[in-house]
Amino acid sequence: MNEQEILERIEIERQIDFLMGRERKYVKPTPKHTPQPKAEPKPNLHTRPDSLAKLFEVAASLPRTQAVQYLAKNKHAAVLQIGRCVLDPNIEFTVTVPAKYQPAMLSDQSLSLYQETRRLYLFCTDPQRESPLQNDPVKCQRRFEDMLHSLLADEASLLCQIVQKRLPIDATLLLDAYPELRHLETVNVNRPSTIATDHFRREMHEGREALEAINRQIQETEETLANLHAQKNRILQGIHRAEQIMGNAVTGGNRFSA
């Protein structure tokens, strides 16, 4: 059935309603409510996080300039110590990350990496401070695993990255945020690749925002189509009833005439 036929049948139904004294009121369909996804809370850039893991997580989520400013604002001896241990080529860790370990489960029973970074020298060859455990690798490994067990999961994971000479952020962010670490610029830090990484990160962020906008448009279009289909079905039902009424009227009239 094409659009013209639908309009003709609607007109027929309107005429029947008029002859029978019926009045139809159009009720606008209530659009289906679709809950919108909750936006992720924005990180608090004005207060230092309770954990170093959260501090690095926030820094990693920011554009490069803001990340440098954020790190500089939240300067802490623990962050500087981590940066030196990771970036200094003269520092090598003598412990290995265990395949499995159980971090602390409760915050009130856990230690903080803000304080525990003071003991990193125990597990590495630090030219500034000799480890008393350097001649006892078994005890050194055991002390390291004890530290892992005393930290919450996110900070324990960060500690594992540190002893593997890695960071959850670009290393050059620390060099730009803290002048104290700039003498470590000779470390294998590839600034061009870092700039490229920032570029791709921006592209990924913009791409995700564009996809979210498209998904919202698709959702709105689907709701509109659903409403149009509902209206179409109501019109077709009305046309069908009108045909039945007209058929009954014609049949009844012929029978009466006979």
What is the per-residue pLDDT for 219?
86
The verdict on 123 and 181 lying in the same domain is: yes
Mean pLDDT score of the chain: 82
Which residue is it, tokens 């856990």?
110
Model pLDDT for residues 123-149, shown as the tens digit of each residue:
999 888 899 998 999 999 999 999 999
The verdict on 222 and 206 lying in the same domain is: yes
Across residues 23-44, what is the average pLDDT?
Answer: 65
What is the per-residue pLDDT for 194?
46
Give the residue from 189, 214, 230 where a domain finishes. 189
The verdict on 166 and 229 lying in the same domain is: no
Residue 22 has pLDDT above 80, yes or no: no
Instruction: Report yes or no on 30 lying in a domain.
Output: no
Q: For residue 213, what pLDDT band results from cuts at 50, 70 and 90?
A: confident
Cα-based angle 77, 78, 80 (whole degrees, multiple of 5): 65
Q: Which of 70-74, 169-173, 181-185 has the lowest mean pLDDT?
A: 181-185
More confident residue, 218 or 3: 218
The verdict on 204 and 244 lying in the same domain is: yes
Across residues 209-220, what is the average pLDDT?
Answer: 85
The verdict on 200 and 150 lying in the same domain is: no
Taking the mean position of all CA atoms in its chain, how far away is CA 102? Answer: 26
Instruction: Report yes or no on 37 lying in a domain.
Output: no
- Is the entire prediction scored with pTM above 0.75? no
What is the per-residue pLDDT for 1?
62
Model pLDDT for residues 92-126, shown as the tens digit of each residue:
999 999 999 999 998 888 899 999 999 999 999 98
The verdict on 177 and 202 lying in the same domain is: no
More confident residue, 47 or 34: 47
Which residue is it, tokens 């009466």?
256
CA distances from 173 to 177, 202, 239 (A): 6, 16, 70
Give the residue from 145, 167, 189 where a domain finishes. 189
The verdict on 73 and 185 lying in the same domain is: yes
What is the per-residue pLDDT for 73?
94
Q: Which of 166-170, 241-245, 251-255 has the lowest mean pLDDT?
A: 251-255
The three-state secondary structure class of 185 is coil
Instruction: Report yes or no on 102 lying in a domain.
Output: yes
Q: Which of 29, 62, 39, 100 is nearest to 205 (CA)?
A: 62
The verdict on 239 and 112 lying in the same domain is: no
The verdict on 130 and 220 lying in the same domain is: no
The verdict on 98 and 225 lying in the same domain is: no
Q: Tally the domains of the chain.
A: 2
Instruction: Report yes or no on 8 lying in a domain.
Output: no
Q: For residue 220, what pLDDT band results from cuts at 50, 70 and 90?
A: confident
The verdict on 76 and 180 lying in the same domain is: yes
Instruction: Report yes or no on 226 lying in a domain.
Output: yes
Instruction: Report yes or no on 257 lying in a domain.
Output: no
CA distance 52 to 46: 15
Amino acid at site 209:
E
The verdict on 144 and 59 lying in the same domain is: yes
Across residues 150-158, what is the average pLDDT?
Answer: 95
Q: What is the percentage of the chain residues whose pLDDT exceeds 70?
A: 79
User: Is 122:140 a contact under the CB 8 Å cutoff?
Assistant: yes
HSE-up (13 A, CA, CB side) for residue 137: 5
What is the per-residue pLDDT for 233?
84
Give the residue from 158, 189, 220 where a domain finishes. 189
What is the per-residue pLDDT for 251?
64
Domain that holds residue 219: 193-251
Instruction: Report yes or no on 117 lying in a domain.
Output: yes
Instruction: Report yes or no on 15 lying in a domain.
Output: no
Residue 12 has pLDDT above 90, yes or no: no
Residue 46 has pLDDT above 80, yes or no: no
